[in-house]
């Protein structure tokens, strides 16, 4: 463990610097309080019973009871904070907190709720942005390079907070006895190379050629163009797959594909992809849509979707190269075309 420095102490030191955005530490402590409350619900019998579908969110995805409760927990936690407006997955429009705050927050209160019944890790993803006082909604329509801080909380065997304020990525762990987060690892770095990839293979028939080519090359192993063997890892939980990549490297791919509604991917740019991208880049990795750096994309809607590829820098670069290469768009994929594992 890096030491016994608490999140409160870490943020107090941040607030003492002249470069810190006023109210940032206050906002992040509010997120920490909300996540501790949500963690207690998740790990209780009450949480286990919150997997029932109660409707759809504004973007057409199934909404579970725990999604709604998580949204309400964080709204309550942030009520008296420096956050003036919130863009949440569970709300159609930007929420005005009516508190005179000075910052904006984008968040997915409960990522991976489809995993509640399976007891797989789920999480909370967030980012903090400057407030556009003239037009608060416009606070979210800017490139990711304007984000002040980003993080996610992974609720698993251990509850961990991954956090960046633009000077490296830190991991804090929840000390349940003390009731606070303490620093676990400081300035973590993602390995540039990897032998692990994470993708939902059941969608192979829908992928566009560059993604098929990349996976073909990985599966061919030592006898193929990559000259090394790969393992596939897929938890189907964004925060869980990201946690693994921070721990030991790897690449995560959730591409767009040819299905209706999937051409531009399914993950949300503002409150999923951008926070993850900032965390990943601050740890020495890369995050891309396949054709463009995630943090360079300027959203047009708070619920805009994007393909997302992130992780070890060299692997993400290969995926981008394949998207830019004419041959990967015209040549049939050998594994999924005329031969291979998935065709007779």
Within this chain, do residues 171 and 200 fall inside the same structural domain, yes or no?
Answer: no
179 lies in the same domain as 205: no
What is the value of pTM for the model shown?
A: 0.92
Same domain, 48 and 170: yes
Q: For position 15, what pLDDT does the model report?
A: 85
Average pLDDT over residues 15-31: 89
Query: Which pLDDT tens digit goes with each residue over 298-315?
Result: 999 999 999 999 999 999
> What does the block give as tokens for 227?
């000259």
Residue 1 reports pLDDT greater than 80 = no
Q: Which band of pLDDT confidence, cut at 50, 70 and 90, is reported for residue 52?
A: low
Contacts of 113 (CB under 8 A, 6+ apart): 51, 64, 66, 67, 122
pLDDT at position 252: 98
User: Of the residues 165, 185, 205, which one is the last residue of a structural domain?
Assistant: 185
| Tokens encoding 16 | 């003492």
Instruction: Please check whether residue 343 lies inside any domain of the structure.
Output: no
Question: 128: domain range?
Answer: 7-185
* Rounded distance between C-alpha atoms, residue 67 and residue 75, angstroms: 12
Instruction: Give the whole-angstrom CA distance, residue 153 versus residue 31.
Output: 9
Instruction: Check whether residue 117 and residue 65 sit in a common domain.
Output: yes
Band the pLDDT of 108: cuts 50, 70, 90. Answer: very high
- What pLDDT is recorded for position 219? 97
For residues 95 and 134, membership in a common domain is answered with yes
pLDDT higher than threshold 90 for residue 338: no
* Token couple for 111: 């990522």
- Residues 114 and 214 reside in one and the same domain: no
> pLDDT digit string (tens) for 229-277?
999 999 999 999 999 999 999 999 999 999 999 999 999 999 999 999 9
Res. 327: pLDDT tops 90: no
Q: Is the same domain home to 178 and 201?
A: no
Q: Which of 48-52, 63-67, 236-240 has the highest mean pLDDT?
A: 236-240
Domain end point (choices 185, 206, 228) = 185
Q: Are residues 200 and 317 in the same domain?
A: yes
Residue 206 has pLDDT above 80, yes or no: yes
Q: Are residues 175 and 213 in the same domain?
A: no
pLDDT averaged over every residue in the chain = 91
* Together in a domain, 219 and 318: yes
38 three-state secondary structure: helix
* 56 confidence band (pLDDT: 50, 70, 90): low
- Final residue of a domain: which of 139, 160, 185? 185
């Amino acid at each position: 463990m890096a030491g016994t420095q608490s999140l409160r102490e870490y943020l107090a030191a941040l607030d003492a610097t002249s470069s810190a955005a006023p109210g940032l530490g206050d906002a992040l402590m509010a997120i920490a309080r909300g996540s501790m409350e949500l963690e207690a619900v998740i790990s209780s019998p009450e949480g286990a019973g919150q997997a029932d579908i109660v409707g759809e969110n504004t973007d057409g995805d199934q909404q579970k009871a725990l999604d709604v409760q998580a949204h309400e927990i964080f709204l309550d936690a942030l009520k008296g904070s420096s956050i003036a407006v919130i863009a949440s997955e569970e709300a159609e429009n930007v929420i005005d907190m009516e508190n005179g705050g000075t910052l904006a927050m984008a968040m997915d209160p409960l990522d991976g709720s489809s995993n509640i019944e399976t007891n797989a890790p789920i999480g909370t993803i967030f980012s903090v942005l400057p407030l556009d006082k003239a037009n608060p909604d416009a606070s979210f329509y800017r490139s990711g390079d304007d984000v002040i801080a980003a993080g996610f909380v992974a609720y698993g065997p251990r509850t961990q907070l991954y956090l960046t304020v633009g000077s490296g990525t830190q991991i804090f762990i929840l000390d349940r006895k003390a009731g606070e987060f303490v620093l676990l690892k400081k300035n973590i770095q993602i390995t540039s190379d990897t032998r692990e990839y994470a993708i939902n293979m059941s969608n192979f028939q829908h992928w566009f050629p560059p993604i098929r080519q990349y996976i073909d090359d990985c599966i061919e192993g030592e006898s193929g163009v990559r000259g090394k063997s790969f393992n596939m890892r897929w938890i189907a939980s964004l925060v869980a797959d990201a946690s693994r990549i921070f721990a030991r490297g790897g690449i995560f791919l959730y591409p767009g594909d040819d299905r209706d509604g999937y051409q531009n991917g399914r993950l949300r740019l503002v409150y999923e992809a951008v926070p993850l991208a900032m965390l990943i880049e601050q740890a020495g990795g890369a995050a891309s849509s396949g054709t463009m750096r995630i943090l360079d994309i300027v959203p047009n809607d708070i619920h805009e979707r994007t393909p997302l590829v992130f992780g070890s820098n060299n692997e993400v670069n290969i995926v981008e190269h394949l998207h830019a290469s004419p041959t990967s768009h015209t040549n049939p994929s050998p594994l999924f075309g005329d031969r291979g594992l998935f065709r007779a």
